[in-house]
Amino acid sequence: MQPLNPSTITLLVLAPLLAWRIYARFRRMVRRQQLSRVRPWITLIILPTIVLLLACPAYAHFERLLWLAGGLMVGSLLGVYGLRHTRFESTPQGLFYTPHTYLGIALSLLFFARVLYRLVQLSLDTSASHAAPEFAQSSLTLAIFGLLAGYYIAYALGLVRWRNSVVLAKTTRAPGAPDA
């Protein structure tokens, strides 16, 4: 029996992790969620940082940078669309929202499918021509990541804006006025 190469081992280790993340993402997309004060800010810090880290090596290849930027723009538009179809609730128990189920699931599936495709592609290619940093150098991968990042950045901005407007409305309400 031939020993497994490192790429195949990596794929075998990452596949269950990827499946678990897909399951966890779907569970979050289909139910009402309490708005955290911190989670949108984490998204607004981490995703733009990752976008910048991916844009740096893509800078030498202008077409890759355009694919990333195009994905970010379309993703931002989808984020605005998703926010318009999100149900927001301000209750005595806290702030809640129910995201647009199908849009979030579709974008997540698209990204996970692309990552899985690239992992399989790299594990099947036994030539030494592919280095690990090359994983994110595909224009299509960058476009799909930009799409997902743009969506989540726009969505997180919308959540922060909504939370701030609700908090502002509560603080400017007259003392003794009943909560709505």
Q: What is the pLDDT of residues 55-64, one digit of tens each?
A: 887 777 888 8
pTM: 0.78
Please report the sign of the dihedral spanned by the C-alpha atoms of residue 66, residue 72, residue 78, residue 84. Answer: negative
Alpha carbon distance 91, 20 (integer Å): 32
pLDDT at 105: 81
The phi-psi region of residue 75 (left if phi > 0; otherwise alpha if psi is between -120 and 50; otherwise beta) is alpha
| DSSP bridge pairs for 157 | none
Question: 129 is written with which tokens?
Answer: 């021509």
Residue type present at position 171: T
Query: Which ranges of the chain have pLDDT less than 70?
Result: 1-2, 4-8, 10-11, 122-123, 125-136, 174-180
pLDDT at 13: 76
3 state SS of 137: coil
CA-CA-CA-CA dihedral for 11, 13, 19, 23, to nearest 10: -150
Alpha carbon distance 175, 133 (integer Å): 58
DSSP 8-state symbol, 31: S
Alpha carbon distance 154, 147 (integer Å): 11
pLDDT at 16: 80
Alpha carbon distance 66, 74 (integer Å): 12
